[in-house]
Every structure is written in C-alpha cells, then in structure tokens.
Amino acid sequence: MEQIKFAQHFTKLELMKVNIEVFQNESGKEGVDFVIRTATGSYHELYLKSLNLEKESSVEILKEELAMPKDNLWIALVLIMKNMDSSLYLIPSTMLLKTKAHTFLDQNNLKQPYWKINVFLEAIPELSKFSLANVISQL
C-alpha cells in the first residue's frame, strides 16, 4: 500500500513539473487512475503501475482491468529502487499489442489473461524510449 501511495504522489509531481495537469479519476471508470491535460488541451488517461526493482522484475496488467488499449491511454510505470531516484515511464497502452521478445508480453492464461512488462537489463533500451522526457512531446 505504501508503494502505491508513493507511486501516485511521484507520478503527480513529475507530471506537474512539466506543466501537465493531473486529475484523480473520479468517474469510476476501471483501468484509469488519472486523467491528465497537457498545455495544448489534450486529455489522456493513465493506468498506474509501480515496481520495486529490489523485489520484482516485471508487472502484470490483467486484461479485464485495463480493457482494450487505445491511443489516449498510457501505462504510467514507476520504477522504485533503494538509494536511487525513482523513474516514471509513460508507455502507450497500444504497445501492449506489439509483443517484444524481452519487454512486452501477451500472456493468454485461460483463467486470467494479462499483459506483462519486463524490466531487466535486456529490456532497458526498449523501456528507455518511454521515459517522461522522451514522450512528453507525444502528449
């Protein structure tokens, strides 16, 4: 619970630093934690996931939780590691539909299908494309 609260606050602060307005999702719509508005007036939805790299190397996103990926839906992934600055990545949800050998995987488990995002050495070059600094112009 503490990790989730930290990830929520960290995400809000990082986005506000780059002049993006952040709103808590109060619509009750599943799969959306925040709605953001850019300086140009564009709205996007964020689904938040956090990962403590000392304990885990991947996150799983249940397909029933996220629904269908779309252009204005982003995965806000916060990476946390002791004695290092946390990092925020904004991954277009449509990337989940493009399986990459090391990073983005589609797991069609019959009981609970999910997407998996791996975060380990081989996946870092792919993941770095989605750092906040690299995607800010796409918002």
In this structure, what CATH number is given to the domain that contains residue 112? Answer: 3.40.1350.10
pLDDT at 42: 93
Question: Residue 57 has which token pair?
Answer: 């190397």
Which residue in this structure is represented by tokens 């990337």?
Answer: 95
Of 115, 83, 121, 123, give the one whose Cα is nearest residue 99: 115
Task: Report pTM.
Answer: 0.89
Whether residue 18 has pLDDT greater than 90:
yes
Whether residue 28 has pLDDT greater than 90:
no
Number of structural domains the chain divides into:
1
In whole numbers, what is the pLDDT of the chain averaged over residues? 88
Q: Tell me which residue range forms the domain holding 6.
A: 2-138
Q: Are 64 and 48 in contact (CB under 8 A)?
A: no
Question: Residue 131 has which token pair?
Answer: 């750092």
Whether residue 26 has pLDDT greater than 80:
no
Residues whose CB is less than 8 angstroms from the CB of residue 74 and which lie 6 or more positions away in sequence, other chains included: 44, 45, 46, 47, 90, 91, 92, 93
